[in-house]
Amino acid sequence: MLPAHLLVNQNFVLYGTAMIEEIALAAPPSRREARRHNRREAILDVAACSFLEFGYAATTMNAIAATLGGSKGTLWSYFPSKELLFAAVLERATAAFRRELGLILDPGDLPERALRRFCREFIIRVTSPDAIALHRLVLGEVQRFPEIGRAFHEGVSSITRRSLKEYISAAMANGKLRADNAEVAAEQLTHLCLSGCHYRLLLGLDQRATPAMIAADTERATTTFLRAYG
């Protein structure tokens, strides 16, 4: 069982980008809105712990409601299904990385710098303890519950690649990278990032990703990609 401070850590990321969040520049929320936001965050805290500790199958909406001390109706008013609750846990967990992607993939930078920075930050996040635990959860239960595979792909993988694809596509159009299929190139780069210590962590061959391992994987992924498209 993972320590509680890791279970609810919102900085883990499995591969891939998530949806770009709109930040409302409006007046401070009302008390009612603040209470609703706090309640939603409390639900996600409990759900994240339960999914990572017990797995998707053993986590029930009834158990989450009991832990929160409220009614099942209140929980269902926020999340009408366990699938939507799981997707919300993924979305919240990847929010920080999504917000940072615009800075990481700076269109003004040369591809070597921007892509090396992307690879490093991506590998750091996907090799965090929570990210590895969540990835194992999805791989272990996706055959029985295909919906978590869809949520993982749509909420994490495909959106990360979408942002990466947009950067690569622009670099190709500007002659900074060799023109080719930008979507395939983005997929290849993320797989290069996942082929080193991330893979070993999934299999339990290593217990943690050291700075040296992350640096080596970053250099290997970036160099290999630029040899193909530089």
Q: Which comes out higher in pLDDT, residue 26 or 179?
A: 179
Instruction: Please state which of the ranges 49-58, 64-73, 92-101, 214-223 shows the lowest mean pLDDT.
Output: 92-101
- In DSSP notation, 103-121 reads HHT-TTS-HHHHHHHHHHH
Q: Which two tokens stand for residue 147?
A: 């919906």
Tell me, what's the pLDDT at 193?
96
Distance CA 192, CA 175 (A): 23
Query: pLDDT over 70 for what percent of the chain?
Result: 87
Report the range of poorest mean pLDDT among 159-163, 164-168, 206-210: 159-163
Q: Which of 89-103, 108-122, 208-222 has the lowest mean pLDDT?
A: 89-103
Q: Which CATH superfamily is domain 94-229 in?
A: Tetracycline Repressor, domain 2 (1.10.357.10)
What integer is the mean pLDDT of 118-147?
91
Whose CA is closest to 14, among 101, 102, 134, 120? Answer: 134
Flag whether pLDDT at 121 surpasses 60: yes
User: Residue 45 and residue 67: Cα distance in Å, rounded?
Assistant: 11
| Predicted local confidence at residue 92, as pLDDT | 84
The pLDDT tens digits of the residues spanning 17-61 come to: 333 333 344 456 688 788 888 899 999 999 999 998 898 989 999
pTM: 0.77
Neighbours of 117 (CB within 10 A): 17
Determine the average pLDDT of the residues in 185-196. 96
Tokens of 14: 């499995």
Domain with CATH 1.10.10.60 in the chain: 28-82
Nearest CA among 93, 113, 128, 112 for reference residue 17: 93
Mean pLDDT, residues 88-98 = 81
DSSP letter at 80? S
Q: What is the pLDDT of residues 57-76, one digit of tens each?
A: 899 999 999 998 877 888 89
Closest CA to 90 of 153, 35, 139: 153
- Give me the helices (H) in the chain, please: 4-7, 31-54, 61-68, 72-78, 82-93, 95-104, 111-126, 129-141, 146-152, 158-173, 182-194, 197-202, 211-229
Q: Report whether CATH 1.10.10.60 matches the domain 28-82.
A: yes
